[in-house]
């Protein structure tokens, strides 16, 4: 509850919670004292299906007892655990604290297994069946949400099974990407290129660089405009891994293919973020995971 931005909400939750418990107590007390007029057949007068009558019997004592125990338990629970707004409870328990303790304990239990891999190079780890099995589970739990369970990615999320790498595909570079994350930024470039027609011409020139279908006349007109892009993508358009600028001469299209997609990219720009895993995963886990990812695009290292 520490994320409340105003004390009112803490008091609001507290009173709602205590009010609910008090309401249950009052309900039990009122119903126990209320006496309906005696009737000969002890029914409420409600009849269904001509002869099915509702009786007016009190709740069984064991049922009422369970109700009372529930109320008593809730009061003890709220005294020892958080539940009343910002009140921490005597145990000061939090789900985050419990999660961190469980993760710490799990990492300690797994440390002997990872110790063997720490002494191995990424190439050696990628060849180890046990390491690949662990790496696959690490990938599915931490990376598959974006890159897919088959690691082939989708629009906006790179394919990790090919040889096309924005920041480099060596084991060290992959480990760096996983550890620190990446921040890719393609600024809007329409103003630097010219008008709308110039942007379209540039789009067809970019298509021509990879041999993709294009309008050759527009491509020729757009070639001089590529100078605005060369600072990041290089004069030869083969990209710059130091900046994360993609190679435009292959047919790998991370954010979509065709004139419309390229025009949108040049006009609006694009901001992509790969979250850092440092702090979420241990260095040993990152070592195994990066070796596994490296092995995905180096299939010659994988044994059947």
What's the chain look like in SS3? CCCCCCHHHHHHHHHHHHHHHHHHHHHHHHHHHCCCCCCCCCEEEEEECCCEEEECCCCCHHHHHHHHHHHHHHHHHHHHCCCECCECCCCCCCHHHHHHHHHHHHHHHHHHHHHHHHCCCHHHHHHCHHHHHHHHHHHHHHCHHHHCCCCCCECCECCCCCCCCCCCCCHHHHHHHHHHCEEEEECCCHHHHCCHHHHHHHHHHHHHHCCCCCCHHHHHHHHHHHHHCHHHHCCCCCCECCCCECCCCCCCCCCCCCHHHHHHHHHHCEEEEECCCECCECHHHHHHHHHHHHHHCCHHHCCC
Please state, for a pLDDT cut of 70, what percent of the chain lies above it: 94
Structural domains in the chain, CATH included, are 7-32+39-80 (no CATH), 100-181+275-301 (1.10.760.10), 185-274 (1.10.760.10)
User: Averaged over 2-27, what is the pLDDT?
Assistant: 85
Residue 1, pLDDT > 70, answer: no
What's the pLDDT tens digit per position in 187-200?
999 999 999 999 99
| pTM for this predicted structure | 0.72
Task: Tell me: pLDDT of 224 over 50.
Answer: yes
pLDDT of 123 reads 93
Q: What is the pLDDT of residue 54?
A: 82
Q: What is the mean pLDDT of the chain?
A: 90
Q: Is the confidence at residue 39, as pLDDT, over 80?
A: no
**Would you state the pLDDT for residue 125?**
95
**Mean pLDDT calculated for residue range 180-186:** 94
- Name the least confident of 27-31, 38-42, 116-120: 38-42
| Residue of 31 and 208 predicted with greater confidence | 208
pLDDT at residue 43 tops 80? no
């Amino acid at each position: 509850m520490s994320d409340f931005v105003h004390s009112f909400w803490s008091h609001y939750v507290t009173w709602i919670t205590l009010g609910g418990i008090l309401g249950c107590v009052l309900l039990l007390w009122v119903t126990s004292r209320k006496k309906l007029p005696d009737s000969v057949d002890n029914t409420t007068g409600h009849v269904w299906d001509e002869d099915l009558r509702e009786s007016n019997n009190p709740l069984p004592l064991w049922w009422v007892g369970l109700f009372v125990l529930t109320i008593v338990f809730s009061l003890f629970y709220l005294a020892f655990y958080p539940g009343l707004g910002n009140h921490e409870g005597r145990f000061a328990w939090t789900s985050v604290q419990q999660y961190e303790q469980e993760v710490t304990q799990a990492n300690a239990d797994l440390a002997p297994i990872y110790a063997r891999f720490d002494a191995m190079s990424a190439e050696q780890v990628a060849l180890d069946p046990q390491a690949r099995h662990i790496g696959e589970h690490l990938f599915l739990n931490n990376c598959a949400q974006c890159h897919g369970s088959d690691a082939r990615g989708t629009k906006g999320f790179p394919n990790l099974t090919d040889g096309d790498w924005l920041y480099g595909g060596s084991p060290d570079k992959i480990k760096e990407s996983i550890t620190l994350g990446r921040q890719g930024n393609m600024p809007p470039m329409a103003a630097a290129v010219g008008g709308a027609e110039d942007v379209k011409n540039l789009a067809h020139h970019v298509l021509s660089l990879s041999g993709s279908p294009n309008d050759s006349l527009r491509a020729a007109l757009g070639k001089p405009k590529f100078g605005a892009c060369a600072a990041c993508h290089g004069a030869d358009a083969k990209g710059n891994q130091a900046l994360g600028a993609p190679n435009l001469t292959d047919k790998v299209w991370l954010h979509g293919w065709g004139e419309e997609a390229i025009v949108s990219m040049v006009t609006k720009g694009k901001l992509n973020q790969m979250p850092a895993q440092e702090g979420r995963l241990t260095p040993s886990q990152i070592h195994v995971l990066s070796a596994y990812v490296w092995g995905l695009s180096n299939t010659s290292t994988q044994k059947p």
